[in-house]
Structure 1
């Protein structure tokens, strides 16, 4: 009965959205105590997520606790002043969690046809609760938004990916109860994806060359206060599990997070729904026998559109994040395309 109710609610929401806009983020909204809602969510992670065809790779719960620890605590554990303490620290969240999810097996066929889909492999499964209300939100970007941002044209890939995300949404609704709400926008920005090419010296062993590049990449981003929140090496998984791969010498995806940026957007600006776009997935792949590493990721400009952000200072803050990423990539020899 409940599942039928949810399906009807979704249908009504879809019908309404045709009149009002583009559905960008799908959220299941349920009422209840922090503990019972969090327990329900953990039940999805432990059982239903796998049934829906996904595996969690990197689980980042209680991020709001670390915001307070990093920026809202005057003294460190050793009693020394905390250099990151913000006198204007605000804590607007009771719960914020990111779970990067994907599936190396069924994504293999899709990535063979559409490598840019690595923009959402993994994708973020989001949970949050604001202190100002007794509601918990769980969800992701809509499959249409993910596919459009990644510029996926292949109809078969779009249908297969949508089917999997719909299964995830069904598992969310069954596990959390509640009602379905959408963040709607007028349209996506003109440029949704940032892409680069990097000359790649294969050396005597392409895997050794890959690991050397990874080390340089990670050091460059960590030096600019980014966190490598996760990494999925699809090609390595395919080899280890005897899955066919006649297209790539390498294919992996980083999950990137900038802690100050996320604290500001999700907590200070009170836009935790934009966590559906975080951590940012940056895919990297090397075609067979190629000496060009291809890289791409969704533009942070998408966040401004999803959040309907118009304040000039906030828009500049977001654009600066894209600019900083481009500067780091340029320092690694990348050319934007």
Structure 2
């Protein structure tokens, strides 16, 4: 019989014991006109009158910087097909990670799959002559992962991202967003655990993943990518896991709706959902970052965006709960 436990990452400062002073360390702080603004998302923008900077040239720069590119998807086609319009000349969702640094991080932080791969949006608004790339700051990722923001390897990854952006867009600069990060109104990460039979875990894994993948489309989700991180680990002679898989999950109405107001939303999309089991343990762990991070990081207030985000959160929670309780 399978047993499921859903664990909530509690964000209350009182419960976690994090003081207001400690929390300030996990935000990137920029000063504009003497006003200090904490930001979770960084947007790098460059003039692009000649159109020479493209998602393809940005991908090339990230590859040169040492990243493995999981996907670089043009979303304008799906936007036009499903919604008959788009507000962008360019809108790509880009997922990537560094195999070497992910291996170093997973040895300390098994939940690193929440951002392996990381996500970005690459966009140009209709009629604009500039191109922008959005991604999460190191501090924001550390806050969600509940790990030190000054972890050497994590900081290195953040620097690699900035170096890749500068390589791709030599005249680019970081923007300062016109809003503040807001207080979370829900859990940061949706966590699940399921006990596995020590002799049947391989069959159980296959069955669960087949059923999970089969439930995505009927619930409006798309599997935008799949990364077998344990394959990378084994190639590097690290064999602590029986499996470590990360799904990149996207729901088109969510990114279409939110991006109209917040094109930087691709810093969270597609969402990474991991499933892993360590050797010598009989527990499978699953988790994904909740939509409440989107709402908090981008100060989302419009009703349409809030509705599609919360609906997606509920649907994914129901999928996993039903799947693991069977």
The one of 7, 31, 37 aligned to 1:16: 31
Deviation at 1:252, TM superposition (A): 1.3
Per-residue deviation at 1:25?
1.0
Deviations 1:4-37 (A, max 9, x none): xxxxxxxxx9551795222211111112237312
Structure in which a larger fraction of residues adopt helix: 1
Q: Distance in 1 between matches of 2:299 and 2:42?
A: 16
Alpha-carbon distance between aligned partners in 2 of 1:296 and 1:19, rounded to the nearest angstrom: 36
1:270 equivalent to 2:264? Answer no
Runs of 4+ in 1 over 3 A off after TM superposition: 201-204, 206-209, 311-314
Counterpart Cα distance in 2 of 1:168 and 1:208: 38
Q: 2:45 aligns with which of 20, 29, 35?
A: 29
Aligned equivalent of 2:59 = 45
Q: 2:283 matched to which residue of 1?
A: 292
The 3-state SS of whatever aligns with 1:166 is helix
Partner SS state of residue 21, structure 1: strand
Change (3 A) 1:311 1:196: same
Q: CA deviation at 1:263?
A: 1.6
What stretches of structure 2 of length at least 5 have no aligned partner?
A: 1-27
Aligned equivalents of 2:255, 2:199: Cα separation in 1: 38
Select the residue among 67, 79, 100 that pairs with 1:67: 79
Structure 1 residue aligned with 2:70, among 51, 57, 64? 57
Report the Cα distance in structure 1 between the residues aligned to 2:159 and 2:183, rounded to whole angstroms: 21
Superposed CA deviations along residues 40-87 of structure 1, whole A, max 9, x for unmatched, are x523422x3233221102221x21122102221xxxxxxxxxxxxxxx
1:180, 1:261 → 2: CA distance? 25
For 2:116 and 2:139, the matched residues in 1 are separated by: 15
> In the alignment, does 2:236 pair up with 1:223?
no
SS at match of 1:245: coil
Q: Using the alignment, how far apart are the partners of 1:286 and 1:330 within structure 2? A: 18
CA RMSD across the alignment: 2.4
- Give TM-score scaled by structure 2 length: 0.82
Aligned length in residues: 295
SS of equivalent residue, structure 2 residue 281: coil
Corresponding position of 1:185: 180
Change (3 A) 1:162 1:242: closer
Please state if 1:309 is matched with 2:300: yes
Q: Say which of 108, 130, 133 aligns to 1:113.
A: 108
Distance 1:285 1:182, change over 3 A: farther
CA 1:164/1:223 → structure 2, altered by over 3 Å: closer, same or farther? same
1:251 corresponds, among 241, 244, 252, to 244
Among candidates 238, 243, 250, match of residue 233 of structure 2 = 238
CA distance in 2, matches of 1:65, 1:202: 45
Per-residue deviation, 1:331: 0.9
Q: 1:111 to 1:261 in 2, by over 3 A?
A: same
Do residues 170 (structure 1) and 163 (structure 2) align?
Answer: yes
User: In 1, distance between residues paired with 2:127 and 2:244?
Assistant: 42
Aligned to 2:95: 100
SS in 2 for 1:173: helix
CA contact (8 A) 1:150 1:192 kept: no
